[in-house]
Amino acid sequence: GAGVSQSPSNKVTEKGKDVELRCDPISGHTALYWYRQSLGQGLEFLIYFQGNSAPDKSGLPSDRFSAERTGGSVSTLTIQRTQQEDSAVYLCASSLVGSTEAFFGQGTRLTVV
């Protein structure tokens, strides 16, 4: 596709369940970012992948959160034992290294009930 694709667009899950969110970046983009946006708030950085380098995980809020990027392309953000405070929109972005622009996907709206 032409842009960053995220799936699912919406996810409702029960507290305590695990969820996986997927991001398919723009082809050729080596940098990939995950952000979280709570209702009415700014974007909170979660994790950053750049090529084959070790990811920058400094934004992950707890050890229930993890992410991987396979083959330098698709990324999966996993939240284990979801809590109600995990409810938010999870945004993925990709860019070329050194690019002045990061392209965002439409996000996954996660609701934990």
Q: Among residues 82 and 107, whose Cβ is nearest to another protein?
A: 107
For another protein, the closer CB: 41 or 78 = 41
Residues 63 and 80: their CA atoms lie apart, in Å, by 9
Q: List residues binding another protein (CB under 8 A).
A: 31, 33, 35, 41-45, 48, 50, 56, 59, 89, 91, 93, 95-104, 106-107
Smaller CB distance to another protein: residue 16 or 103?
103
Q: Report d(CA 25, CA 102) in Å as an integer.
A: 11
**Residue 89 tokens, joined:** 């929109």
Tell the smallest beta-carbon distance from residue 103 to another protein (Å): 7
Least distance CB 108 / another protein (angstroms): 11
Q: What is the sign, positive or negative, of the torsion defined by CA atoms of 59, 75, 104, 55?
A: positive
Q: Which of 90, 11, 13 is nearest to 46 (CA)?
A: 90
